[in-house]
Amino acid sequence: MKQISILIPNYNGICTTLVSELHKQAEELGIDYEVIVADDGSTQADCVRANYSINELSHCRYLVRQENVGRAAIRNFLASESQYEWLLFIDSDMVIRRADFLRKYCYAPDNPVIVGGVTIGNPQEGNLRSMYEMAAADAHTVEKRCSHPYHDFHTANFLIRRELMLAHPFDLRFRHYGYEDVLLGKQLQQLGIPILHIDNPLSFEVFESNDHFVSKTEEGLRTLFTFQEELQGYSHLLDLSSHWWFPLVRPLVRLWHHCFGQWERKRLTGNRPSLLLFRLYKTGYFISHRDRPFMMT
């Protein structure tokens, strides 16, 4: 069995239920383990207060950082705080639905990187994030992930050797939302490090409001714009915009977004969003800013 440091970055969320289940499963297995939750400068004091109870569980720590350093830096910090050979990264909004979740990682084949995947639960009508994730659910199966092991690398639920993570940390330039995991997947491929995808998913069941999700998407598109050279070949949107015929339609996409972008956004943040409209809005938003560079905010 593997000795595991379970690492959970958190921002404005309460993850006591997640940690309690991980603690229970680890205790039942009798393994050497630790659970470290790092709060990345949360602004909601009630979340911070609730999470302090994590410290009452054996082998569990809740570390509060006053400054928000971003998704890449907080994961690197967690890795530096760990002590065991294997690091299990889990997003704090994930839900464990399998009683053998930790066991499957402990007895997984000895591969330097292992990805368990996610499933989508608790669908919500009228919620854009829920609609988006449900539409993409087929891409989360272990068969699909194995067909593109590096392109389908995500940080919500993966195991990695500590020495590998410390040698190849997340890129600290990624302070804003999105794509730090995509770049790490590309780097692992360039290094020739195999990624093993297994059927050991966590459940994604907490969906933000439509307005928040659209804002996060826009932030992710700005990140994609900033790092488009590094991410070439690892983004469907970059692949689309690099086709030979795209310069012919780009002015039309830009004009459409100029005329209808605000209307699209209003629809998407309302009670009846559309996935087709969401795709149109994302493309228009990215192309408009690709043709008109902007400062990150």
Pairing relation of β-strands 60-65 and 33-40? parallel
User: Is residue 281 classed as helix, strand or coil in its secondary structure?
Assistant: helix
Alpha-helical regions (H) of 125-245? 128-135, 142-147, 162-167, 180-190, 210-226, 236-241
Total-model pTM: 0.92
Q: How far apart are CA 63 and CA 52, in angstroms?
A: 9
pLDDT category at 292 given cuts 50, 70, 90 is low
Q: What are phi and psi of 197, to 5 degrees?
A: -100, 130
Residue (of 232, 136, 130, 149) closest to 188 by Cα position: 149
∠ at Cα 50 (49, 56), nearest 5°? Answer: 100
* Predicted confidence (pLDDT) per residue in 259-283, tens digit: 999 999 999 999 999 999 999 999 9
**Amino acid at the residue 209:** S
Q: To the nearest whole number, what is the mean pLDDT of the chain?
A: 93
Average pLDDT over residues 188-196: 96
Average pLDDT over residues 81-97: 97
- Does residue 295 surpass a pLDDT of 60? no
DSSP 108-144: S-S-SEEE--EEE-S--TT-HHHHHHHHTGGGGSHHH
The structural domains of the chain, ordered by start, are 4-204 (3.90.550.10), 211-291 (no CATH)
- Residue 90 vs residue 232, higher pLDDT: 90
pLDDT category at 237 given cuts 50, 70, 90 is confident
Cβ atoms within 10 Å, residue 179: 25
- Does residue 243 surpass a pLDDT of 90? no
State both tokens at 274: 């559309």
Residue (of 85, 83, 66, 87) closest to 75 by Cα position: 87
Pairing relation of β-strands 4-10 and 86-90? parallel
* Predicted confidence (pLDDT) per residue in 112-131, tens digit: 999 999 999 989 999 999 99
Judged by average pLDDT, the poorest of 11-25, 48-62, 193-207, 238-252 is 238-252
- Does residue 245 surpass a pLDDT of 80? no
DSSP assigned state of 191: T
pLDDT category at 290 given cuts 50, 70, 90 is low
C-alpha dist (Å) from residue 13 to 10, 39, 91: 6, 9, 10
CB-based contact 7:88 (threshold 8 Å): yes
Alpha-helical regions (H) of the chain? 16-29, 45-51, 71-81, 101-106, 128-135, 142-147, 162-167, 180-190, 210-226, 236-241, 246-268, 275-291
